[in-house]
Amino acid sequence: MLHVMINGMTRVLNVPSDMPLLWVLRDVVGLTGTKFGCGIAQCGACTVHVDGVPLRSCQLAIGAVGARAVTTIEAIGETPVGKRVQQAWLDQEVVQCGYCQSGQIMSATALLTSIPLPNDDDIDAAMAGNICRCGTYVRIREAIKLAAKERDA
Amino acid sequence: MRAGSAASFSRRTVLRGGALAAGGLILGIGLPAEAKEGRVSDGVITRGAKLNAFIRILPDESVTMIMPAVEMGQGAYTSMAMILAEELDIGIEAVTLEHAPPDQKNYANPALGAQITGGSTTIFAWYLPLRKTGARARQMVMAAAGEAWGVDIAALRTAGGKVLHDASGRSATYGALAGRAASIVPPEDPPLKGAADFKLIGRSLRRLDTPDKVVGKTIYGIDVMLPGMRFATLAAAPVLGGTVAHVEDGEALKVPGVSQIVVLDDMVAVIGEHMWAVKKGLEALQVEWHDGPNATLSQADLWTRLDNASLQSGVVAKAVGDADGKLTGDGVYETVFELPYLAHAALEPLNCTVHVRPGACEIWVGTQVMGMAQAAAAEAAGLDPSQVVVHNHMIGGGFGRRLEIDCVTNAVRIARHVDGPVKIIWSREEDIRQDRFRPLYHTRTRAKVERGEVTAWHHRITGPSILARWLPGAFQKGIDPDAVDGAVGTPYDFANFEVEFVRHETPEVPTAFWRGVGPNANVFAAECMMDRIARDLKVDPVVFRRSMIHSKPRALGVLNLVAARSGWDMPLPVPAGGERVGRGVALLAAFGSFLATVAEVVVADDGAVRLTRVVTAVDVGQIVNPDTLEAQVQGGTVFGIAAVLHGQITIEQGRIQQSNFNDYRVTRIDEMPVLECHFVRNEEAPGGIGEPGTVTVQPAIANAVYAATGVQLRRMPIDRLLLARNAK
């Protein structure tokens, strides 16, 4: 049995320790907001926070999470930065199909947490691992800047 | 143009499916054929029946709109709700949206004659029918009020979901009137609002589907969870058309969580408790395959066969004057352009959840073709379509892939062997390798130039007919209207003009529609040919194009607009490093819309192409939601950028060589140019916008590279080795 803290709740999980966090979240815990896109850390759709660090959950074995806290798209709105990012995503009308946007929002939230006023290069570096096939990149950039600007609002 | 101008917008709007309560007004529109002719009549009113209904108003004041086109990110739900609500004269904040059920007849796309979301047709096809449906419902609640109050309908008006009689001060809500309205005969030809009276159409209202998407609440097909559900993943034969020879399942069945192996003639699937178990199970499964007849199929062969086919004459799709007769002697240009296979690579991998029971089959899926999905499931399950229930879901990217039902067929084939519901998920590798690809296209374009003028133009497109397989009724007299789209409807006026279609099928490689469809190949070839001639004549490419547009003022309008907004006449700054720079233009008249795009590139000494700016001018006629329109142009552009910079699927020894985003690259944020969109405002009938941006950016980039380097690439994607300084 593994004990893992997910979105503020300790979950007792009877799963193989090499099972990637992605599938634990989706198939066992039922948190389907975290998406499967590639399975090899190429697309970023499965991005979650582990102690605030953005990680690709398709590559993170559940047994390696340990005592660290996992946060997913379902709970990121409970952080001030996450909430601002989600609102900026709506204000800039970023979303099209939306499938990648959980991962985009998780990556953007981590970026703004570590660099409150990112420039374009910072945004490129933090977000280049997140693919959006609908092509919402221009608005993702605008939304990150909007969320940064509104941090004191 | 930005969203957010319509601030007072409720987020309570929900999307849900549900049974129909009785006692309200249900309004539908006429049969597809009538809708097509703009003669939408015979609105059907029933009590408590689900029949061809688009608007449902119940006594509890709920207004439900049933969405005939699916939402895959393009904003169709919001735009369709806006159109219905405009004429019904209500806001969209309190509206509930429902997916239409599978029903080829009553929810047939008026432009396509079947229940299809695709081809950039949603607004183009549904704009007038949905307006009339909304207007008809409004007339009926007004008539109900007039009847109840004994007053003439002309003395009534509507506002805020109520009918008002100013003279007496009486008012009643639509919900209160719905029961009585249901017995009113729907008016044949309800009056429609003038554009000046629009309250919703033309405004950047916020999308109805996005609030759930930013918090991870939206349930896509892949997110479906059912009691007792198991998971499955599969592998198809690695060689196209291969079959299973032998399976050793002992090791796979030892993987904890794996419960069952399903072996079909062309694929294997592993069933189990969760995706991780079945992935590991599939890795442990020992499968020997028969490679079959395609074991030596190579990309070079496929190109050669295509090129050979292009030397035959085809079926003439359009002819004006005598192009062939003119194309002799001096001043004849001939150029071949070739486009590769492409995968769709929607971010939501293929998936379908299925529950097969005796005499029944239920599927949960995101599909662009509800009716076809139902029929496919029925056939695979050996049932009648009426025994198949389809639950449609939000789609995590379509781009044409979910116009195909092979995923439903294969999922049901597997699920027939499984007891209970099973969610079948394709790995990314299987999603890419089992794609139905954008076909290889070959375009041979010839032009005769006399005294600086093109006097004859001949366009021969060689490729398969997707329509002949997919919508056979649309394939008539050997002509595939999609395959010649963008060529037949050229923006230019040529005195002698011919378009030919050479049908060349390669059945061993499955092909399908891909965002931009037929015009991708035709507009690419025509627009690149334009630049080749202009360069040879030493004429500016915009000036050259202008001189040939006489009968399509809207085409000229977007060309002029993009030239002005891109600063076409100003020289591009040369980078400090001395890299080569170039600007290219492309023009499109297709999908009922007009687009012109200018791309700017920097080409490094090693031939690497960096895109710096893309400016697009758009005339779609009446704009429903400007912000959605801009989003579609942006997204379409990014899709096209991926194609020219990176996109290709290749085949060796019968195997697809790409498998995931590492070797099938798509556009990422760090290679994004500045994107600008400029709109022409008018009240022409709305055209399509999902695809045109994908089409125009490709030749615009190719032409910019040509301008920068003097090298005109004839095959996509861009091969940087050919662009390196001093390249052979």
Burial class (CB within 10 angstroms; exposed 0-12, middle 13-18, buried 19+) of A104: buried
Q: Are residues B114 and B241 in the same domain?
A: no
Provide the CATH topology of domain A77-152: DNA polymerase; domain 1 (1.10.150)
| Number of domains making up chain B | 3
pLDDT band for position B38 (cuts 50, 70, 90) = very low
| Comparison of pLDDT for B39 and A82, the residue scoring more | A82
For B450-478, write each residue's pLDDT tens digit.
Answer: 999 999 999 999 999 999 999 999 999 99
Q: What is the mean pLDDT of chain B?
A: 92
For residue A83, the chain B residue with the least C-alpha distance is B215
User: Looking at the partner chain, which of A32, A39, A95 has a beta carbon nearest the beta carbon of B427?
Assistant: A39
Statement to judge: residues B253 and B136 lie in one domain: no
**Looking at the domain assignment, is residue B727 inside a domain?**
no
- Does the distance separating the beta carbons of A101 and B214 come in below 8 Å? yes
Least confident of A130-139, B102-111, B242-251, B482-491: B102-111
A85-122 per-position pLDDT tens digit: 999 999 999 999 999 999 999 999 999 999 999 999 99
pLDDT number for residue A150: 85
β-partners of residue B596 are B587, B617
Predicted pLDDT of residue B395: 97
In terms of CATH architecture, what is A2-75?
Roll (3.10)
Q: What ipTM was predicted for this assembly?
A: 0.98
For chain A positions 59-118, those within 8 Å of chain B (CB to CB) are 72-74, 77, 86, 89-102, 105
Q: How far apart are CA A122 and CA A112, in angstroms?
A: 10
CATH of the domain at B697: 3.30.365.10
Give tens-digit pLDDT for B125-179.
999 999 999 999 999 999 999 999 999 999 999 999 999 999 999 999 999 998 8
Contact (CB<8Å) B207/A93:
yes
Work out the pLDDT band at B25, boundaries 50, 70, 90: low
Q: Which residue has the tokens 């990314």?
A: B428
Instruction: Give one DSSP letter per residue of B251-313, joined into a string.
Output: HHHHSTTEEEEEE-SSEEEEEESSHHHHHHHHHH-EEEEE-GGGTT--HHHHHHHHHHHTTS-
pLDDT given for residue B700 in this prediction: 98
Residue type, A66: G
Which residue spans of chain A are classified as CATH 3.10.20.30?
A: 2-75
| Closest by Cβ to A96, choosing from B2, B631, B660 | B631
Side chain identity at A135, as an amino acid letter? G
Burial label for B539, CB within 10 Å (0-12, 13-18, 19+), is: middle
Let me know whether B51 and B186 are in one domain. Answer: yes
pLDDT at residue B463, rounded to an integer? 98
Asked whether residue B582 falls in the same domain as residue B612, the answer is: yes
Residue B4 located in a structural domain: no
Domain boundary among B425, B458, B474: B425
- A56 — contact with chain B (CB < 8 Å)? no
- pLDDT, tens digit, for every residue of B618-642? 999 999 999 999 999 999 999 999 9
- Terminal CA-CA length for chain B: 45
d(CA A69, CA B692): 45
User: Residue B154: CB partners within 8 Å, gap ≥ 6?
Assistant: none
The last residue of one of the domains, among B169, B185, B213, is: B213
Please say if the pLDDT value at position B14 is more than 80: no
Cα gap B459→B358, rounded to integer Å? 54
Handedness of CA B635, B639, B642, B645 (dihedral sign): negative
| Pairwise CA distance, residues B85 & B13, whole Å | 14
Contact B497, B490 (CB under 8 A): yes
Q: Is residue B8 part of a domain?
A: no
Regarding whether B693 and B583 lie in a shared domain, the answer is: yes
Domain end among B213, B230, B258: B213
pLDDT band at B560 (very low <50, low <70, confident <90, very high): very high
CA–CA distance, B696 with B703 (Å, rounded to integer): 11
Is B625 in the same domain as B688? yes
pLDDT digits (tens, 9 = 90+) for B402-418: 999 999 999 999 999 99
Give yes or no: residues B64 and B143 share one domain.
Answer: yes
Asked if residue B19 has pLDDT above 80, the reply is: no
pLDDT band at B95 (very low <50, low <70, confident <90, very high): confident
Using pLDDT thresholds of 50, 70 and 90, give the confidence band for residue B1.
very low
Is the domain of B314 the same as that of B280?
A: no
Number of CB pairs, chain A paired with chain B, less than 8 A apart? 180
Give the type of residue at B418: V
Residue B31 belongs to a domain: yes
Q: Which runs of E-coded beta strand occur in B507-608? A: 580-590, 593-603
Structure tokens given for A19: 């099972």
Beta-carbon contacts of residue B81 (< 8 Å; ≥ 6 apart): B65, B67, B92, B95, B97, B208
Residue range B470-510, pLDDT digits in tens: 999 999 999 999 999 999 999 999 999 999 999 999 999 99
Residue B210, token pair as written in the block:
């996005």
Domain that residue B45 falls in: 25-213
- Mapped onto helix, strand or coil, the DSSP state of residue A61 is strand
Same domain, yes or no: B534 and B604: yes
Q: CA angle, corner B594, sides to B590 and B595, nearest 5?
A: 105
For residue B31, what pLDDT is reported?
30
How would you list the strands of the sheet with B453-463, edge to edge? B315-320, B496-503, B453-463, B441-450, B332-339
What is the per-residue pLDDT for B684? 96
Is B280 contained in some domain? yes
Query: Residue B549 corresponds to which tokens in the numbers above?
Result: 């547009």
Question: Do B562 and B699 fall into the same domain?
Answer: yes
pLDDT computed for residue B93 by the predictor? 86
Predicted confidence (pLDDT) at residue B120 exceeds the cutoff of 50: yes
What Å distances lie between residue B580 and B18, B74, B547, B576, CA to CA?
59, 36, 28, 11
**pTM of whole model > 0.80?**
yes
What are the pLDDT digits (tens) for B345-395? 999 999 999 999 999 999 999 999 999 999 999 999 999 999 999 999 999
**Digit-coded pLDDT (tens) for B247-259:** 999 999 999 999 9
Mutation target among A73, A133, A142 for the B interface, most CBs of B within 10 A: A133
- What average pLDDT does the segment B327-336 reach? 97
User: Cα dist. B14→A30, B65, B96, B390 in Å?
Assistant: 21, 11, 6, 20
Both B195 and B287 in a single domain? no
Q: Which residues of B touch A140 (CB under 8 A)?
A: 669
Q: Residue type at A10?
A: T
For residue B233, the model assigns a pLDDT of 98
Summarize pLDDT for A30-67 with one digit per residue, the tens: 999 999 999 999 999 999 999 999 999 999 999 999 99
Q: Are residues B173 and B76 in the same domain?
A: yes
